[in-house]
Amino acid sequence: MDTPRRLLLVNGPNLNLLGTREPEIYGSETLADVERLVVDTAAASGFEVRAVQSNHEGVLIDAIHEARPDCAGIVINPGGLTHTSVVLRDALSSVALPVAEVHVSDVYAREEFRHHSYVRDVAVVHVIGEGVAGYAHATRLLLDVITGHADG
């Protein structure tokens, strides 16, 4: 069977407020800007994107499960769920798709509780603290993994 030419983009709680929430930390670009950036980055490699954002953990888990048959990988910014959600980590692990974890801010330069990621061990790509541009970087790295062009 051919690898699907689609990525799932997952944005967790509060990321709908990008551009207005703490712009000194997260910048002024919006979630629509993020989605457009990932769509354009993926399209350059012949991939399409299905995007989901929710403030509800179960909605994100359902979207991850639904990606299994028709997506080649997942780009995810779990937001605060990064540091708290074993079930989100388990959902990512259970679908057996390559995962790129992305964070707009440098979570390791912030509060101590943000230093632990439940997603880290199931992700093959980690892009931390590059702002919204990090989504494009994470998408390109994930596509390299999917297409077999990753260094390694």
From the candidates 26, 116, 118, 126, give the one annotated as an active-site residue.
26
Helix 133-147 vs helix 31-43: crossing angle, to nearest 10: 30
Q: Identify whether 26 is a catalytic site residue.
A: yes
Q: Is 83 annotated as a binding residue?
A: yes
54 is in an annotated binding site: no
Query: Is 10 among the annotated ligand-binding positions?
Result: no
Residue 106, token pair as written in the block: 């440098």
Tokens for 21?
């929430």
- Other CB atoms within 10 Å distance of the CB of residue 94: 13
Q: Are 112 and 86 spatial neighbours (Cβ–Cβ below 8 Å)?
A: no
- Residue 46: burial class (beta carbons within 10 Å; 0-12, 13-18, 19+): exposed
Q: Which of 56, 65, 103, 108 is catalytic?
A: 103
CA distance 71 to 55: 22
Sequence letter at residue 78: P
- Tell whether 117 is in a known binding site: no
Q: Is residue 70 annotated as involved in ligand binding?
A: no
- Whether 90 has a binding-site annotation, put simply, is yes
Known active-site residue 103: yes
**Which parts are annotated binding residues for substrate?**
77, 83, 90, 104-105, 114
List residues with catalytic annotation. Answer: 26, 103
| Binding site per annotation, positions | 77, 83, 90, 104-105, 114
